[in-house]
Amino acid sequence: MSRVLLLCPDRLGTHMAGTAARFLEMARDLSRRHEVILASPAVVPGLDLGGAGAASLEDPGLADVADRSDAVLAQGYILRKLSWLGRCETPLVVDLYDPAPLENLELLRTEENEQRRQEQHETCLGFFIEQLLFGDFFLACHDRARDFWLGMLVALGRVTPDVHRQDPALRNLIDLLPTGVPQEPPRNDHGAAPQGHPAFNEGSRVLLWGGGIWDWLDAETPIRVVARLGEERPEVQLLFLGTDHPNPDVPSMSAAARARDLARDLGVLDRSVHFSAWTAYEDRQAFLTRSDLGLSLAGDHLEARFAWRSRLVDYLQCRLPAIVTDNDGLGEMMVAEGAALGVPPGDEAALRKAVLSMLDDESRISEMKQQSSKLAEKLSWRKVLEPLERFISAPRITRPRDQPMRYVDYLKDFLPHSRFHSKTLSRVRRVLDEEGPGGLVDRLVSRIGTRDRDGAPD
């Protein structure tokens, strides 16, 4: 049994989005075989963590927990928030589930100020460069995403001839960990059952958008389709099971407001198109198991190619047939395995045709449910966690902590707004390269002594 510390960047609680749910389910499954501590910005008391323990990212003793662990797994801004991670001797696993630099490009499309656009882009990119420089083992959600991150690792000097010679496939450096499907069968008998919801009238056929309306997703095309089906198929209802992010620290995205405005303009708001507040994590299956089709639609852009949609994991667990834009990792897999029907991004006619063909073909729906069950088994948490468990059973340091980071100084040339654009940091790296850690300490001591003699303020 290994001891693992999971550092989740999002809040854990009754209402959670994809990242928090990923860490929760990972902790639940890992704790069946390992000693697990799950730390996050906030944890609701009484939340079922399985056999895992809970901690706060603000806990001053968290660094000691990390030191006593066999491995630490972190994601997102955690390295910037917990500066001691860069000095921690415990092997660091970096979870690259979220292609945030690419999501950020979509978010910044509506930012009119050029300087803010560039600064926010460089800040986000800087977060991930730090992770790629500091990590010992990396996890991506699917092969195409792994190739994306592997290219960045090569550019940052993490793939050396010695590393490649020992492991030509580089699976010891970066492997896969998609968000898995819980082994427990779906339940529809707990939480807020949807019978009283206006979308679930007698005879209604519900299209479920099972998550948030983010700027990189396409919520407007299904609204137009349902609006134009109004007279022909009035029983068709579209339900958005959440709009804004459940974490209040995450600002609202413009796509949610645009979707609601469109539904209002088309005269279908609260008639055949419904927007629900974010549904509690333990209640969502009541909606998923009573809907007819799941939707997951995105535009034709970079984020989609490297994403792994958590809502699709929910569809698989609940055996909900889906219509997807088949340009993301899990969407492509579901289409290939017969668990979903793929449509081109932004193609209203194709989506309309897909909705009608599936609602009118019960045999096809039945077949998709069977294929969803098979794919859910392939993607069970127990199976997808195998690469991580191999690492934590034999954890290793792949970036020696006593060596300076290479390939960093040149970053200031194309990231002038990031923390890498620092003359002080450049000098520190140069001294480390030329004189080693001892030389750096000697220079710092000498500098402090000079300031004290000159009467510099404390």
Instruction: Provide the residue ranges of all domains of the chain, joining segments of one domain with +.
Output: 3-180+383-403, 194-379
C-alpha 254/C-alpha 261 separation (Å) is 11
Strands (E), 1-91: 3-7, 35-40, 53-56, 71-74
Lowest mean pLDDT, pick from 74-83, 137-146, 214-223, 411-420: 411-420
Do domains 3-180+383-403 and 194-379 share one topology? The answer is: yes
Nearest residue to 188 via CA among 305, 282, 57, 68: 282
C-alpha 31/C-alpha 4 separation (Å) is 9
Which residue has tokens 């279908």? Answer: 268
Classify domain 194-379 by CATH architecture. 3-Layer(aba) Sandwich (3.40)
Q: Which pLDDT tens digit goes with each residue over 54-91?
A: 999 999 999 999 999 999 999 988 888 898 888 899 99
Confidence band for 208, pLDDT divided at 50, 70 and 90? very high
Which residue has tokens 């030389």? Answer: 439
pLDDT value of position 188:
64
Gyration radius of the chain over CA positions: 24
pLDDT value of position 249:
79
Range with the largest mean pLDDT of 84-93, 414-423, 449-458? 84-93
Strand partners, 174: 138
Which residues have CB under 8 Å from 214's CB, separation 6+?
Answer: 103, 106, 253, 255
452 pLDDT above the threshold of 80 = no
What is the chain's mean pLDDT, rounded? 87
Q: Which pLDDT tens digit goes with each residue over 20-29?
A: 999 999 999 9
C-alpha 380/C-alpha 134 separation (Å) is 29
Nearest residue to 193 via CA among 275, 280, 287, 274: 287
258 pLDDT above the threshold of 70 = yes
pLDDT value of position 440:
61
Ramachandran angles phi, psi of 140, nearest 5°: -115, 165
DSSP class of 328: S
Lowest mean pLDDT, pick from 62-76, 92-106, 114-128: 114-128
C-alpha 242/C-alpha 209 separation (Å) is 8
In whole angstroms, how far apart are CA 249 and each of 10, 51, 59, 81, 203?
9, 28, 20, 15, 39
3-state SS, residue 277 = coil
Q: Which residue would you say has higher pLDDT here, 431 or 243?
A: 243
Confidence band for 46, pLDDT divided at 50, 70 and 90? confident
Angle (CA) 31 328 359, round 5°: 100
C-alpha 293/C-alpha 110 separation (Å) is 31
Q: Does domain 3-180+383-403 have CATH number 3.40.50.300?
A: no
CB 308 within 8 A of CB 330: yes
pTM score > 0.75 for this model? yes
Q: Which pLDDT tens digit goes with each residue over 178-203?
A: 999 998 877 765 555 566 688 898 88
* Mean pLDDT to the nearest integer, 401-422: 56
